[in-house]
Each structure stands twice: as C-alpha cells, then as structure tokens.
Amino acid sequence: MTNPQMPQQSWPGTNPHYPPPPKKRAVWPWVLGGFCAFVLLLFGGCVALLSSAADEVAESAEKQTSVSPAGSEVRDGKFGFVVTRVEPPVASVGDNQFLKKDAQGEFILVHVDVSNTGDQPQTYFGDNQKLVDAQGRLYSNDTAAEVNLNKNLVTEINPGNRISVVLAFDVPKGTTPTAIEFHDSAFSGGARVALR
C-alpha cells in the first residue's frame, strides 16, 4: 500500500514534475542539404558564366570575320579608323642608313587616319593593327619599319582629334592583302575593313 502522506519516490535522472526533454535532431541532414545547395548554385553560376563568355567570343569572332567596305570608317573601342591609301609593295623603307629597314619579303604600306571617338585621351599603338591576306593569314605591323614612316610609334590622341599614320606590314612577295584589322588595344575585339 502506498501512504498518501509519503512523497513519491522518483527514479534517478527523471523529474516527475517536468516532461522529458525532446530528443535532439540529427544535424547531418541539414549540413548535407546545405552542401548540395551550394554545389548546385556554384554549378549554375559556372554554366551562366561560361554561356556569357561563349556569347562574347562568338560576337567577337563574328565582328572579326565581317568586313566593312573599302574606304568606310570602322570603330573599335574609342578609335575610328579610315584607310586613305595603300601603296604598291616596296623592298625597304627609310632614307637614314642606320634606321633603314629591309623587308624579309616586301612591305605593304597602308595609310590610315585614326580618330579618338571617346570622351577621354586614348593612346594609339600601331603595333596592335593586323593585315589580312587572301588566305586569311594575319600579319603584324613592323614597328622597326614604321620608325621610318611616322613621327611617333605611340601617340596619345585627345577626344575629337585625328592623326594620320602609315602602317608597314612585311609579307611574302606576291601576297594579296584583302583587309586590315584595327584594334583599340591589344585586348579589343577588332574591326575589319576591306582594302579593295
């Protein structure tokens, strides 16, 4: 029998007046779910970035392969370019015996007007320009030959101003130049204009 005046005996580790504490839930499902969500977001961001980069490359490639008609102004970045004349090929350039430059093949000399179409001074480098032949090969501007043709190899052009330069391309004899690819900088997409 139980005595009503006797307090009830409680077992060690239990409290008769309070309910037992709730069981702890496992944390690992939340950690695993968070990790999976992170991986999915990272993957989605990479896909979006690669898609955007592919679109830019395709647009740049399309811009480079499309050729504007001869005599028209083309723009790349902050510069506008107009080819004013193409001279017949020559074997060497320069009158100074120390600066005279002989071509490995022959020089094609292209006269160009370069305008700053932006709103800040921009530095022009002749070395950024490329010549394209009938087979689609690219030729770089010969800076050593250009020393004989221009006052400055590197020129800062103020907004709205224009300079005239001569570009010299050393190409194999008999090469047929078809276009020139102008660049605002070494990293720009470029713009092509036909030479004929």
| pLDDT per position as a tens digit, 34-64 | 888 888 888 777 777 777 666 565 555 554 5
Q: Is residue 23 part of a domain?
A: no
Residue 137 resides in a domain: yes
DSSP secondary structure string for all residues of 125-149: EGGG-EEEETT--EEEB-HHHHTTT
Query: Is residue 42, in this structure, part of any structural domain at all?
Result: no
Q: Indicate yes or no: pTM above 0.85.
A: no
Q: Is residue 13 part of a domain?
A: no
pLDDT digits (tens, 9 = 90+) for 100-128: 889 999 999 999 999 999 999 999 988 89
Domain enclosing residue 92, as ranges: 66-194
Identity at 33, one-letter amino acid code? G
CATH at residue 118: 2.60.40.1240
Q: Which contiguous run of DSSP H or E holds residue 53?
A: helix 28-65
Count the Cβ atoms, other than its own, within 10 Å of residue 172.
12
Phi, psi of 182 (to 5 degrees): -95, 145
- Average pLDDT for 18-30: 73
